[in-house]
Amino acid sequence: MNNCPEILNAFALPEGERSAVPFGNGHINNTFLIRIAGTGKQYILQRINSYVFTRPKDVMENMQRVTAFLRGKIAAEGGNPDRETITLVSSRSGEAYAEDPEGQIWRVMLFVPDTFSPELPDDLNILEECGGAFGRFARLLDDFPASSLHETIHAFHDTPSRLRQLEDAAKNDPLDRLKDIPEEMAFARSCAAETRVLTDALSAGKLPLRVTHNDTKVNNVLLDKQTEKAVCVIDLDTVMPGLLAYDFGDAIRVGACSAAEDEQNLDLIHLELPKYRAFSRGFLSQLKGILSRDELLSLEAGARIMTLENGLRFLADHLNGDVYFKIHRPGQNLDRARAQFALYRDMEKHRTEAQKILLELYGG
């Protein structure tokens, strides 16, 4: 092999001279693009970050089951499973992964050619395509038994527990930062009831448990380079049981905000309703006849609550000494928290309008 990690020998790949180059801009897993001379195919090799995902074999079991299910659905609709979902390459022992001598878990996936990942586009057509991709993902998995999947990160979108974690950080206050953020803490505490809206609805049986992606950034959609049409949803590490509102909400939080996540001028931060509409149009176009009115309207709540949740997480990390989210300047996590809270407040102002958009687009 030429410049390739030794672990690649553990996978059932074609023969030929191999080369590897670092690939992508992800912050979690080690990723390489693998070329094998004479095959016309390329592959992605990744090592799963065992610090973030403490049970990486559970991650791979979820991924294997979900992609196998998707492949069947895509084929039944006349699509191309090799292009429209992730294709895992088996190890020589028949597993969906291989383990190196240090106990690290690796996987190989077929590279999807002639595609690109968008980065926070202003183009409403691309936002609609991304919404459609995540909506299709949910539709194809509508009858998958969500509760049978592993929870790859415990209580990932349990917003009440995020508030409790903030209170723990405030109680410990290891860097004596609490005294400088009385307004932010007061605001967070004032939202205690809001943190429970989705979890209470799930407990009451008003919302169904679904297979959720849980990292619905637009750059987790591959678009065709020529047509700019959605091809495939990628990065399935956080696929697990959850609420559709989590996926819709997190996508809106990032994709329909007018400013950067760490914007310091809070006057520049607001919900951009044309972007909200564009993403929603694509998302809901794939889900006709599937959603109840309660679940449809929960999407609007999801946008607010995912924004609030991230604000709580940023603020807790600021108090804890910036140990989870990377910072590039002092106070960046505090700025992120303030920006999320500002966006949440603007979403509250447009709550009725956002609900009307969903009802209109869904035909309600």
pLDDT at 26 over 50: no
pLDDT at 52 over 90: no
pLDDT of residue 364: 54
Are β-strands 105-110 and 221-224 bridged in parallel, bridged antiparallel, or unpaired? unpaired
Q: What share of the chain is helix, strand, coil (3-state, %, to 5)?
A: 50, 15, 40
pLDDT at 60 over 90: yes
Residue 149: DSSP 8-state: S
Q: Measured on CA atoms in the order 222, 224, 227, 231, is the torsion positive or negative?
A: negative
Q: What is the mean pLDDT of residues 109-122?
A: 90
pLDDT at 25 over 50: yes
Domains of the chain: 6-113 (3.30.200.20), 124-362 (3.90.1200.10)
Tokens 């004479």, residue?
A: 38
pLDDT at 24 over 70: no
pLDDT in tens, 235-273: 999 999 999 999 999 999 999 999 999 999 999 999 999
What mean pLDDT, rounded, does the chain reach?
Answer: 94
Contact 262, 336 (CB under 8 A): yes
> What's the token pair of residue 187?
């605001």
Residue 53: DSSP 8-state: -
| Integer Cα distance of 44 and 314 in angstroms | 32
pLDDT of residue 237: 93
CA-based nearest residue to 180, from 170, 191, 172, 190: 170
pLDDT in tens, 304-360: 999 999 999 999 999 999 988 889 999 999 999 999 999 999 999 999 999 999 999
What one-letter code names the amino acid at 278? A
Question: Which residues fall within 8 angstroms of residue 221, CB to CB, at 6 or more apart?
Answer: 117, 118, 129, 130, 133, 134, 230, 231, 232, 233, 234
Burial 147-170 (b: 16+ CB within 10 A, else e): eebeebeeebbbbbbbbbbbeebb
| Integer Cα distance of 186 and 229 in angstroms | 44
| Integer Cα distance of 158 and 238 in angstroms | 14
| Integer Cα distance of 59 and 69 in angstroms | 16
What one-letter code names the amino acid at 64? Q
pLDDT in tens, 157-169: 999 999 999 999 9
Q: What is the mean pLDDT of residues 6-20?
A: 90
155 band by pLDDT with thresholds 50, 70 and 90:
confident
Contact 253, 218 (CB under 8 A): no
Backbone angles phi and psi of 33, in degrees to 5: -95, 125
